[in-house]
Homo-oligomer: A and B are copies of this chain.
Amino acid sequence: MYTLEKPISQNCQDSATKTKTKVAIAGATGYVGQELIKLLLQHPEVEITAVASNSNEGENFEDIFPGFSGLLSKTFCAVDLEALAEQSDVLFLALPHGIAASVVSETVLAKTKVIDLSGDFRIENPEVKSEWYGSAAGANKNTAVYGICELNKAAIQGSKFIANPGCYATAAILALAPLVKAGLIAPSSIIIDGKSGVSGAGRAASLKTHFNECNESMKAYQLPTHRHTPEIEETLSKFTNDEVVTTFAAHLVPMHRGILLTAYGTLTKPVSDNEVMAAFNEVYEGEPFIRMKPPGKGMPETRWVKGSNYCDIGFAVDRRSNRIVVVSAIDNLIKGAAGQAIQNMNIILGIDETKGLNQVPTFL
């Protein structure tokens, strides 16, 4: 009965004569895939041309995600990257880890811009990659640019192949890079305690994500071998002459969305709150998606960023132990995945970085 006469974000574009950017999404039936589609549907300057999924090929997107009923009448096609490249200016890959490495070819990259949301292209150093990812990492030379938008913008602008950062890695790097860059913390002292909602575990049915097995409980996992560790270390190391070695522990918390990350570092010298704020401001001045909590104004909570592309950051200097504690909060599916991917797309396309990403946090 319901016929949406205009695409969801169309009201802005009625007067637009400008041609829209064609985007395709491979891996559209996972949580990151559907979040990409949700955000892209509300992006004023793009048009979704194809949604691909091998497991649901031939089915209708609306039947898999009834929340989109009336909003996107598309049939899933197969995950054929060369075919998708033909139909798109930008191709988002939200495939399980290990697949992108084998299908992103020069041919594909010659036809379209690729933004990969898996871990396949995030690590630069081949030895480190091999150590943490094994043979699944692929033997190809990694030509992707690491898409941590606020810290690597110049490189992203000129790129046509982006490795979108991991969710924990995004929260950790954004929380720590300014302090490492300013030399305020010892590079070998960093400990990172990350806590994530369950959406980070993906949509595949398994005992570990069964409601009764994870609701009303907490646990640490993949300790101490979580693959976001080398991603964090490699990126932070670019901001210092020393090598950054961290201990990172990931934890599962019974909620849908949100990463709260608490990072600890030993101060290299006594610092005031103002000096710390200055270090953050130097890096994030003018960045639309970073919101610093000034001392005394509370600490980040995931509910204040839920549903948005924001990363909220707060800190406390603990003079007794000579450490700083930094807390960052993101929506793992948005700033930690789909939102940052679109932010990368905007940067590549040279359009306003906030286009399609101006959702107000949903709070509750």
Contact = CB atoms under 8 A, between A and B. Distances in A.
A353 B248 CA distance: 38
Interface stretch (A105-113, A117-125, A315-323): A315-323
Given A285-B1, A364-B31, A216 B42 contact: no
B325 A223 contact: yes
B206 A205 contact: yes
Contact of A218 (B2, B207, B258): B258
Contacts of A141: none
Q: How large is the interface on A (under 10, 10 to 19, 20 to 34, 35 or more residues)?
A: 35 or more
Contact of A288 (B4, B199, B247, B287): B4
9 contacts: A67-B363, A68-B360, A191-B264, A195-B218, A205-B210, A212-B256, A216-B216, A217-B302, A224-B320
Contacts of A65: 363
B286 A3 contact: yes
Interface in A39-90: 41-42, 44, 63, 65-71
A4 to B, nearest CB: 7
A257 interface: yes
A320 B245 contact: yes
A21 interface: no
Contacts of A320: 224, 245
Contact of A262 (B2, B251, B287): B251
A114 interface: no
A133 interface: no
Contact of A34 (B293, B300, B306, B363): B363
Contacts of A298: 66
Copies in the complex: 4
A281 interface: yes
A303 interface: yes
B260 A218 contact: yes
Interface in A230-269: 245-247, 249, 251, 253-258, 260, 262, 264
A314 B284 CA distance: 39
Given A67-B363, A205-B205, 8 more contacts: A2-B290, A12-B12, A63-B297, A191-B264, A217-B302, A224-B316, A224-B321, A257-B364
B255 A251 contact: no
Nearest to A10: B358
Q: What's the dominant secondary structure at chain A's contact region?
A: loop
Contact of A304 (B66, B262, B300, B316): B66
A362 interface: yes
Given A70-B291, A360-B68, A247 B219 contact: no
A11 B321 contact: no
B245 A321 contact: yes
Contacts of A8: 358, 360
Given A1-B284, A224-B316, A352-B11, A209 B207 contact: no
A155 interface: no
Contacts of A292: 1-2
Contacts of A15: 15
Contacts of A321: 188, 224, 245-247
